[in-house]
């Protein structure tokens, strides 16, 4: 399958999805969003894929939504734009595959929202995160106000959203917005190494653990704990639970089947 605005490759059980609108700094237009949703579903539906790395390349992650496309929007078309962005980010959260954002350069507006929807964020030292929408007379519409408060805390969220403050990679690491900061040229390789580590984990347990975390974030700790209990029980229906526990007792490396 060919894409116009992104690149899709699979290497060592990891799908690498690269945003590819370099002349527009990977601005998230409607066409790119449609292709991005397709690529994520493609990876999720491929039994040979165990993780996804999402990147914008060595210079920029995504400079935000395409302002040219939105400048003359009506409330109805703006609602559809926000809905599409939220659907993509919720899809990233809901799939069983771990998703890693490899961020170099700017991750602003919709780009920051996209990165925050991922399970891990590996940032190059040049990375900059921000939600500048209020300065354009709007506000984040793809979940940014909510995920930012969850990841970095409400005080940082207010600074970034209300004041338009941008965070450098080291500041983003300090407040919990990113997982790891590395040299710019090592960003993608570090994300791929993290993906390889995740691919060693049993696929079903990994998916259920991610689901439990996201459920608690979205619906509260009480609901999350109840759901966790049910998912815990379900893992005992999967052959990798038997293999994992017997391998532990027998002091050998497990041979997971990774059914999901």
Token representation of residue 202: 């049993």
* Whether the Cβ atoms of residue 31 and residue 47 lie closer than 8 Å to each other: no
> What b/e string do you get for 7-19 counting C-beta neighbours within 10 Å, with b at 16 or more?
ebeeeebbbbbbb
Residues in Cβ contact with 82 at an 8 Å cutoff, skipping those fewer than 6 apart: 141, 142
Chain centre distance of CA 91: 9
Distance CA 76, CA 10 (A): 37
User: Active-site residue among 37, 83, 90, 133?
Assistant: 133
Give the single-character DSSP code of 177: S
Element (H, E) at 130: strand 128-130
Give the single-character DSSP code of 57: -
Distance CA 103, CA 129 (A): 9
Annotation says 197 is catalytic:
no
Distance CA 37, CA 84 (A): 9
**What would the DSSP string read from start to end of 99-110?**
EEEEE-SEEETH
Question: Parallel, antiparallel, or unpaired for β 14-19 and 51-55?
Answer: parallel
User: Active-site residue among 35, 93, 113, 159?
Assistant: 113
Token representation of residue 250: 């027998």
Annotation says 83 is catalytic:
no
Residues with a catalytic annotation lie at 113, 133
């Amino acid at each position: 399958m060919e894409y116009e605005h992104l690149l899709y490759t699979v290497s060592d059980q990891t799908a690498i999805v690269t945003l590819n609108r370099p002349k527009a700094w990977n601005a998230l237009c409607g066409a790119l969003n449609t292709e991005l949703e397709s690529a994520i579903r493609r990876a999720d539906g491929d039994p040979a894929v165990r993780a996804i790395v999402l990147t914008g390349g060595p210079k920029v992650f995504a400079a935000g939504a395409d302002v040219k496309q939105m400048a003359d929007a009506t409330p109805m078309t703006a609602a559809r734009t926000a809905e599409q962005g939220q659907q993509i980010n919720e899809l990233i959260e809901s799939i069983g595959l771990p998703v890693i954002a490899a961020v170099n350069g700017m991750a602003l507006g919709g780009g920051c929202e996209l990165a925050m929807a991922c399970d891990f964020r590996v940032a190059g030292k040049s990375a900059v995160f921000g939600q500048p929408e209020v300065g354009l007379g709007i506000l984040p519409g793809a979940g940014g106000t909510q995920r930012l408060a969850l990841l970095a805390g409400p005080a940082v969220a207010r600074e970034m959203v209300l004041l338009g403050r941008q965070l450098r990679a080291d500041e983003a690491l300090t407040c919990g917005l990113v997982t790891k900061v590395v040299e710019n040229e090592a960003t993608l390789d570090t994300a791929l190494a993290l993906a390889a580590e995740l691919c060693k984990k049993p696929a079903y347990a990994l998916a259920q653990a991610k689901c439990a975390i996201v459920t608690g974030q979205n619906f509260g700790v009480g609901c999350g704990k109840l759901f966790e209990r049910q998912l815990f029980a379900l893992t005992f229906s999967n052959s990798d639970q038997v293999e994992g526990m017997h391998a532990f007792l027998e002091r050998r490396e497990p041979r997971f089947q990774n059914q999901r």
